[in-house]
């Protein structure tokens, strides 16, 4: 793969940090963003990338991230909207603040990224925008993720609509959504409301390194959607084919 300039948000830990390390090993130039300066700078020093402390919930910060990347490299080939946060709360217990936070962190942050970088990619005539969503946006495997799952479903929809828009006028710009399942990171521990009392039984998990490798392959061979865990692809198909039967099995603990 030829060397690319790649921006990654949420790069101080988890999938973002693993992706930065994987892409660095392939020789790409990286611009990394996150709120936590010490952790971000530690990852950036490991991968020889540019660290830009960024609160992706602030549009001005995201624009400043774009400007820093363009100033350093002249263009951006790939922009990965990876930053996000979980929530442990059932639907009937959600507050206005819960829903607002999930939409801000998981939808508006990516919207700011798309709106910031798309014009530069359109002017250049090429580029790849990648939004990191969740398999929970497609299948309700964890009801306690409620508003988080809803926000990721909204992100899936925004991604698809941007892809359709740009396909008409700028066919060399790809817009992809990535849907990991359960990943062995601190995501659950860092979720608002704390970790759930019990994780959903039987859901196959991946390491952040496995997810990073799948995203790196997507960068090399772009496509519209990626479910990073092959074991979940069949689960998604069964859900779409018969929602009632799938949910009935979920309630009995079968899948």
- As annotated, the active-site residues are 148
DSSP state of 125: T
Query: Can you list the alpha helix ranges (DSSP code H) found in 10-145?
Result: 14-25, 37-47, 59-73, 96-103, 109-124
Q: φ, ψ for residue 81 (rounded to 5)?
A: -85, 95
Structure tokens at 50: 């540019």
CA–CA dist 66, 59 (Å, integer): 11
CA–CA dist 206, 182 (Å, integer): 6
CA–CA dist 17, 36 (Å, integer): 12
CA 121 → CA 37, 61, 74, distances in Å? 28, 19, 11
Helix, strand, or coil (residue 206): strand
Which position has the token pair 């390194």?
A: 209
H or E, element range at 232: helix 230-241
């Amino acid at each position: 793969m030829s060397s690319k300039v790649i921006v990654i948000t949420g790069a101080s830990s988890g999938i973002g940090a693993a992706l930065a390390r994987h892409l660095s090993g392939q020789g790409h130039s990286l611009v990394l963003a996150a709120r936590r300066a010490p952790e971000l700078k530690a990852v950036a020093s490991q991968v020889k990338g540019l660290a830009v402390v960024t609160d992706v919930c602030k549009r001005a910060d995201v624009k400043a991230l774009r400007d820093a990347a363009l100033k350093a490299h002249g263009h951006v080939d790939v922009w990965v909207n990876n930053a996000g946060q979980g929530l442990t709360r059932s639907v009937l217990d959600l507050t206005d603040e819960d829903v607002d936070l999930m939409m801000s962190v998981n939808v508006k942050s990516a919207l700011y990224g798309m709106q910031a970088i798309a014009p530069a990619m359109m002017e250049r005539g090429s580029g790849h925008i990648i939004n990191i969503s969740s398999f929970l946006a497609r299948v309700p495997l964890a009801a306690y993720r409620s508003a988080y799952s809803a926000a990721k479903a909204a992100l899936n929809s925004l991604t698809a609509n941007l892809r359709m828009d740009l396909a008409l006028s700028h066919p060399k710009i790809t817009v992809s959504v990535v849907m990991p399942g359960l990943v062995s990171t601190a995501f659950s521990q860092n979720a608002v409301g704390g970790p759930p009392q019990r994780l959903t039984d039987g859901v196959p998990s991946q390491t952040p390194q496995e997810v990073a490798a799948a995203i790196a392959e997507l960068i090399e061979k772009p496509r519209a959607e990626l479910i990073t865990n092959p074991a979940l692809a069949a689960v998604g198909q069964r859900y779409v084919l018969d929602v009632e039967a799938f949910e009935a099995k979920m309630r009995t603990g079968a899948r």
